[in-house]
A and B are shown apart, each in its own frame.
Chain A
């Protein structure tokens, strides 16, 4: 297996794009129901419900795949490198708000040991290990409304769960916009998408070469800082 495959194993790419498709469908059908109105151009209510529920179940299954997959090598990208996080975050933000406009080199160099930049690490950790579990649990709770508590947080149990579910749905739609946009910040606007799609478009820099040169060229680095990685 090449170094490239270490960052983009097939299971991860299948999971990533399935997840993307499911999320888009869930957002479209979710908003269709949330903003349902007679005569409005949106997915028919009953169809939206059926699709939303089916995709929710599939999303849960794919999340379990993700969790199992992260028991292996991919998990290290979430668990390591926390000491450098605060400084790394500042560097990453400075790059996105300033350096990127000047053609500065990307501050993070992905490696098989640490492929996420600090912003990715925080964002993915929050979204995948906090927001998504709550989104999933609240979604499943709404499948069984008669089993939900009668009262919760000053309102009905279903009301509270549904509101949390909607709020997290909004959060994920924001995440997707930013995630997709940052996917264009590679060498070319499509390079990172191709990487996540094909897995082996661009080889990783030679580790020996990287260690010899502490400041690799912008082109070589940007190619691998893939916000589409997960």
Chain B
């Protein structure tokens, strides 16, 4: 029943139009809100792109926020799980995310009350599939980690800067080749085998590139074109035809050498006889 009521409230909010209820809030919360009256600062441009922007402000901040000073506090806003618990229509497996999160180092070491919003800041959150480019997904994804974690030292990784522009922290700091990026591992158990990414069956296809891999993977003549279009990765990206032609030529050359050698041997044998 409560889910139904919330759904009705959200529908009403959407029907009213997100812009209507966003504009008055942005008067204070946009840009230099901190200097005006305090409170959460929202970037209107990023909010407009955010995956939840269609809800408008009052989609989540239901009651007690319409007048200033607000009667309600941040805690009174809707929690992610208010909508997403039992949401089977969402384009992700929420039950799996929850299971992964409960195994992650963020929960069992850092904070048992770890919240989605710690990483998915709802005022600008965009899933990878809605970002402009992989580069943007990597930049934003890594920035989220960097907000809590100091600049990590990965001296064992060659060309570290290049890696930070081509992959996200979570691509290596999550379990195996599974699609999850929520089962964050302790640093000691993060991926350290280069070949897990630098191979035809790169784990990036199941993580960073999973949303676009399926529709772009089959580009003619190219191994992992979806990655190649964004970053060259030895082992993972290559021209299929170049490998095939080269291996064929190599095989033909070796065969020709054997045939030629056998011919010379036969000719020498005949000559001796």
**A interface vs B, CB < 8 Å?**
33-38, 45-46, 49, 96, 100-103, 145-146, 155-156, 158-159, 162-163, 166-167, 170, 173-174, 177-178, 181, 184-185
Contact = CB atoms under 8 A, between A and B. Distances in A.
Contacts of B239: 163
Interface in B192-207: 193-196, 198-201
Contact of B267 (A34, A102, A185): A102
16 contacts: A33-B234, A37-B200, A45-B195, A45-B198, A49-B158, A96-B260, A100-B264, A100-B267, A101-B263, A155-B228, A158-B231, A163-B238, A166-B238, A173-B250, A178-B253, A185-B264
Interface residues on B, range: 35 or more
Contacts, number: 87
B194 A46 contact: yes
Nearest to A96: B260
Contacts of A158: 231-232
B177 to A, nearest CB: 9
A167 to B, nearest CB: 6
Given A37-B195, A163-B239, 17 more contacts: A34-B235, A34-B238, A37-B235, A38-B199, A45-B193, A45-B198, A45-B235, A46-B194, A49-B194, A101-B263, A101-B267, A102-B267, A103-B271, A146-B161, A158-B232, A166-B242, A177-B257
The 7 A-B residue pairs with the shortest CB-CB distance, nearest first, are A36-B235, A170-B246, A158-B232, A45-B194, A159-B232, A101-B267, A181-B257
A36 B195 CA distance: 6
B63 to A, nearest CB: 51
Nearest to A181: B257
B150 interface: no
B196 A38 contact: yes
Given A46-B194, A155-B228, A166-B242, A37 B199 contact: yes
Contacts of B161: 146
A49 B198 CA distance: 12
Contacts of B264: 100-101, 185
A173 B248 CA distance: 12
Contact of B249 (A146, A155, A174): A174
A149 to B, nearest CB: 13
B82 to A, nearest CB: 42
Question: Which of A156, A159, A170, A174 has the most CB atoms of chain B within a 10 A radius of its CB?
Answer: A159
Contacts of B246: 167, 170
